[in-house]
Structure 1
Amino acid sequence: MTAIDLLSVYAEPRRPVAVRLRAALADRLPLIAILLVQCALAYRLANTAFEDEALYIYAGHRELGHLLHGVPVGDTYASYFSGIPVLYPVAAAVIDSALGLGGVRAFSLLAMLGATALLWTTTRRLYGKPAAVIGAALFATCAPTLFLSRLATYDAPSVFLLALALWWTVRTAHRSPFLVLLAAPPLVLAAGVKYASALYLPTVVLAAVLTVPALGLSWWRGVLRGVLLGAGTAALLFAGLDAAGAGVRAGLSQTTVNRTTGAEPLSNILRLSLIWGGWVAALAVVGVGVLIVRRRGWAPVLLGALLTGTAALATAYQAHLGTSVSLHKHVGFGLLFAAPLAGAGLAALSGLPPLRDSVPMLRRAVPGVAVGTCAVLAYYAGNAAGPMYGWPDSSGLVAELRPLVHPGQDRYLVEEDEVPRYYLRTQADPSQWLNTYYFQYGDSTGKQLVNLPAYQAAFADGYFDLVVLDDGPTAALDKQLTQALNAPGSRYHQLAHIPAASGHGTQYYTVWQRG
């Protein structure tokens, strides 16, 4: 460039700030529309607190009270939580104190909106704007994303942190390799917030390697980035585990590493995975096929295959455990990585500009096949997310128990005690609540009884002030407990039979009171 050219560049007046802002806004109109649709579909889901939501927020209040005032926690949450109790639960408790359950759920929505926005910019850098529009739309409106957007658990912030780390590895591909180390803290924090997130750390580390040659730079530069990110992440993980203490390490082992396996058929796990994420995964495979056809080196193909294959990790992990519990949430983690390729695949099928094409999206209409496919999948996902949110409405139960629950020595046996315990947390202490998962009781002779015999002996002694059963997780035991409560000479009388709407029809809470 000559001196005259340089002078002409510097002499060129800069566009006014308002003009630049309008241009930036116009460029991001599709993303804004996608985020609005995500909000609208997510807010169609409404219900009282889910068992997990109530447990984590309640635990956060107990942990927060201990941190601020030295109040005993009352439980060893670290031993069975699948995330560090002083991270998400405490943050959720702070929000709950100010804004209630709706505020904590709004926090999850903001996290998932952030993940969608980060996915947009990541996909745009890798595969161009058409792929970014479609990939973000597919991710934002898939059933797991909508569910996590309205669930007050640690899944949503974990997804956001993984999206942040992936975005940074792609964002810094052309810059100093050492900048990739800044992706290590969000990766480790994601694993701390939810241990299962560690399943996706290798994907981000390998993406740090493959992104560089995929964008036309040196393989050695990519390898250096991968080594730096892998070493930094490992160092932070080991330091965090050492600082967290034995309780957290025991919880990590019990809930994630050495979790008890089940016997659910593989066919059912695969079927559910296809229902909740199959379309995105299939389109991602198409995206990998497009990369192969383009024949611009193996690095882009390997990167695409890595991101697409990550969608199968949750299914493989749950198949190993032999259970579909939490599968509807975990599938969403993998879709975060597969969605960019799904966007590229559908863009190719729709006749949109090739990957990394410079034609601005707003200068041409999106072909109907892309719009139609995204609309159909969004409609499907909106309906598929509904049953996920269909646990029993507990408002009637809580209203019935509110005047009956008092602090002191009273004891309340509730099949799923997490929900009323959360709503009535200012009216009773943690030790007053018991559930039907496990119970040990000493009878009049001093003999220690467990489970059914223990409950029967406790009923005979009038040990519980209130008993609530709902034929839920311990339905078989409930029938035996009901017989004992209704037996001649029982010290309990049925106080209420409360209907509760759920996604599987009407469920009933039956309440017995002593006396």
Structure 2
Amino acid sequence: MMPPETDSWFTPQPPARTPPDEAGQARHPRTEEHGAQWFEPAGDDPSEDAGYAPRPVGHGGYGPAPDGPRSADEARAVQEPRSADEARAVELAPYRIPRVPDTGWDPAPSPRRRWIGRGLLFGVLAIQAALSLRLNSAAHPDEAVSLIVGRQELARLSDGTAVTTDLIHQVTGLPWLYPPLAGFGVNASGVFGARLISLVFALLTTTLLYSLTRRLFNERAAICGAGAYAVLQSTVVVGFYAAPDALAVMLVALAAWLITLTARAPVVTVLLAAPAAALAAAVEYASVPALPVLLALALITAWPHRGALPAVLRSLLLGLGTVGVLLPFGIPAAVWTHATIPARGTQSAGSILLAAVQWGGLFTVLAIAGAVAYVRRERMNESPDTDAVTASRLRRTALGATLCAAALLIPALHAYQNSSAVMFRHIGFGMLFAAPLAGVGITRLVGAHFRHPQLGILVWVALLALGLDQAALRFQNGPDSGSLMGVLRANATPQGHYLTEVDGLPEYYLGGVSRPEQWVSARAGTDYQDPAGVRHQGQDGTAAAIRDGYFTLVVLDSTAPAAVTKVITEAVESSGRYRLIAQFTSTTVDSGTYRVFLMH
């Protein structure tokens, strides 16, 4: 315990009483303790009271003042002016107060902002992976085609085994690019392994999209755009779908990222993006509409930094480089053939556009709103240090129109072809380009300094709910192939020949009782030589083979092209060699009625 006589801040002390002065007035205790430093004299002239000088001399203003009144010499010394050195020593402070900034934060890029953005991006990728991995179903016909062709292409590349399946003609791309990857995955872990490869490509696409948007706008728009893109139906489904679309979208994103990365570099550096753009077109012919968007992006991103002529030259150089990579493989001719196939679907343009609105309508509206807001004002002016306009309104208009047009182009092409069979996968190419503007739209909706964060959360939750429901329905609405495979497995033999309108599934699931070359795709037609030595090809060959009883089983699907089904049905009825052994309707919307005929 502290002694009683010890003075401390924790020991209250009674106020000191001071005796009155000669005038009969009590002196303040602080005056007794510290002298006249604390109070000025009551008179107008401090020199009149020598006992209470403004600045005591001899003790520097600290400690008790000398007792008794001051002498005239001491008072005179107080009033004399100090020398220049002494005045400077008193006036100068031992530190300097820095200039106060206008804002408490800096909008310029910094390591802290980058690491926060990367942390949020990691969370987005985790959500995307979880949404894709929750989808689980049997292989779809398009997946089965890639898996069968991939196995045979992988065997051909490894030991020179010839490819025997006619499904190779249904691969919408070079068969030796993506299918071997799918074959590697299916050999390792079945259809799940092939789907995991697509998931890796989808996650890389989202990462590249984040970096692309950050370079075009900022970190906030980048994380909002990536978060919205990651929960779309096309992103979630393609990310767990054994088809070349995931790889093609990733290559398009890589090309766009390289274009923005080299915007300020010499013109020739844009050729770094040419191989990625060419590979995207080679992997999936449906990615060709993305190439004009890449050319426009090369022009728009370089214009403010390099000028008009170098920007135009940059775009032309990218186009020539892409075509130069594709020419040795004959891809331009194959792409032209694929693009000029006449419309084969029977759907109306209105129903196709309605499906596009359901799959990407809200996202496209966000992108258009972001483009309009970006054209009107480049920044939200959160900081007074960033009021300067760095991009002209013409450049902002061109960028917004280009990215939004890409989102509308894919549905328009499918409406022209009267078919939406694979639009749920191809629409992802347009959503990729619209994502940066969708991120801008969400940030403008939230407002400066996160004024309305609830609006951004509401929009993202709505996109998440739509993506969850639509992706689940897409996998649930796949073909109900279990009953069909049971009937085919019971009647297949190692020596038979089979005609099917359900491509891919029998070859993949019945590999233990048949070989892929035993199954003939009814959509591709048959190359058949009759007993008289006459060779028939296409649908004429299919009809001749049925009349001669060449096929052991004939499988029809009501969703196949009507012209093909009509030829087969007439041949089966006229031959008198086949009887119907199974007929059932699939419970899903993507498949119709299956009919199985067995030769007797």
Change (3 A) 1:157 1:225: farther
CA contact (8 A) 1:109 1:149 kept: yes
Post-superposition Cα deviations, 1:235-278, rounded to whole Å, max 9, x if no partner, equal 34234323x24xx555323322x121256433233222222212
Q: Residue in 2 aligned with 1:159?
A: 249
CA contact (8 A) 2:146 2:179 kept: yes
Greater radius of gyration (CA): 2
Q: In the aligned structure 1, how far is the partner of 2:317 from the partner of 2:564?
A: 50
Q: In the aligned structure 2, how far is the partner of 1:415 from the partner of 1:158?
A: 27
Post-superposition Cα deviations, 1:191-226, rounded to whole Å, max 9, x if no partner, equal 11112212112222222232245xxx4342x75355
1:340 equivalent to 2:436? Answer yes
Shift of 1:477: 7.1
Residue 53 of structure 1, aligned match among 97, 118, 143: 143
Q: In the aligned structure 2, how far is the partner of 1:237 from the partner of 1:99?
A: 37
Q: Which moved more, 1:340-349 or 1:385-394?
A: 385-394
Shift of 1:479: 8.9
Shift of 1:396: 4.0
Q: Residue in 2 aligned with 1:387?
A: 473
Post-superposition Cα deviations, 1:31-83, rounded to whole Å, max 9, x if no partner, equal 22222222222233322111111112212222232333332223577765421
Name the TM-score, length of structure 2 as normaliser: 0.70
Shift of 1:141: 1.1
Q: In the aligned structure 2, how far is the partner of 1:426 from the partner of 1:119?
A: 43
Change (3 A) 1:410 1:372: same
Unaligned runs of 5+ in 2: 1-109, 379-388
Query: Where do 1:130-145 residues align within 5 Å?
Result: 130-145=220-235
Shift of 1:84: 0.9
Secondary structure, aligned partner of 1:241: helix
1:261 equivalent to 2:351? Answer no
Q: Residue in 1 aligned with 2:200?
A: 110
Secondary structure, aligned partner of 1:329: helix
Q: Residue in 1 aligned with 2:6?
A: none
Unaligned runs of 5+ in 1: 1-19, 354-363
Bigger proportion of residues as helix: 1
CA RMSD of aligned residues (A): 3.5
Query: Where do 1:264-275 residues align within 5 Å?
Result: 264-275=347-358
CA contact (8 A) 2:274 2:321 kept: no
1:464 equivalent to 2:551? Answer yes
Query: Where do 1:432-511 residues align within 5 Å?
Result: 432-437=518-523, 438-439=525-526, 462-473=549-560, 492=579, 494=581, 501-503=587-589, 509-511=594-596
Change (3 A) 1:400 1:50: same
Q: Residue in 2 aligned with 1:360?
A: none
Q: Residue in 2 aligned with 1:301?
A: 397
Change (3 A) 1:285 1:453: closer
1:227 equivalent to 2:309? Answer no
Q: In the aligned structure 2, how far is the partner of 1:233 from the partner of 1:33?
A: 36
Secondary structure, aligned partner of 2:288: helix
Residue 82 of structure 1, aligned match among 161, 169, 172: 172
CA contact (8 A) 2:373 2:444 kept: yes
Shift of 1:338: 0.7
Shift of 1:394: 2.0
CA contact (8 A) 2:277 2:322 kept: no
Letter in 1 for 2:396: P
Q: Residue in 2 aligned with 1:327?
A: 423
Change (3 A) 1:116 1:318: same
Shift of 1:172: 3.0
CA contact (8 A) 1:486 1:493 kept: no
Q: Residue in 2 aligned with 1:147?
A: 237
Residue 170 of structure 1, aligned match among 260, 266, 281: 260
CA contact (8 A) 1:277 1:332 kept: no
Shift of 1:169: 1.9
Letter in 2 for 1:373: V
Residue 410 of structure 1, aligned match among 474, 491, 496: 496
Q: Residue in 1 aligned with 2:80?
A: none
Q: In the aligned structure 2, how far is the partner of 1:102 from the partner of 1:365?
A: 44
Q: Residue in 1 aligned with 2:326?
A: 240
Change (3 A) 1:22 1:512: farther
CA contact (8 A) 1:80 1:255 kept: no
Q: In the aligned structure 2, how far is the partner of 1:455 from the partner of 1:211?
A: 54
Letter in 2 for 1:74: T
Change (3 A) 1:96 1:352: farther
Question: Sequence identity, in percent?
Answer: 32
Q: In the aligned structure 2, how far is the partner of 1:469 from the partner of 1:49?
A: 19
1:200 equivalent to 2:290? Answer yes
Name the TM-score, length of structure 1 as normaliser: 0.80
Shift of 1:284: 1.2
Secondary structure, aligned partner of 1:416: coil
Q: In the aligned structure 2, how far is the partner of 1:134 from the partner of 1:402?
A: 50
Secondary structure, aligned partner of 2:442: helix
CA contact (8 A) 2:371 2:441 kept: yes
Q: Residue in 1 aligned with 2:462?
A: 376
Q: Return the structure number with greater relative CO, CA threshold 8 A, min gap 6.
A: 1
Q: Residue in 2 aligned with 1:44?
A: 134
1:64 equivalent to 2:129? Answer no
Q: In the aligned structure 2, how far is the partner of 1:23 from the partner of 1:130?
A: 10
Shift of 1:121: 1.8
CA contact (8 A) 2:121 2:223 kept: yes
| Count of aligned positions | 475
Secondary structure, aligned partner of 2:138: coil
CA contact (8 A) 1:78 1:251 kept: no
Change (3 A) 1:427 1:352: farther
Residue 310 of structure 1, aligned match among 385, 401, 406: 406
Letter in 2 for 1:473: A
Q: Which moved more, 1:136-145 or 1:33-42?
A: 33-42
CA contact (8 A) 1:78 1:84 kept: no
Shift of 1:233: 4.3
Q: In the aligned structure 2, how far is the partner of 1:190 from the partner of 1:504?
A: 28
Secondary structure, aligned partner of 1:413: strand
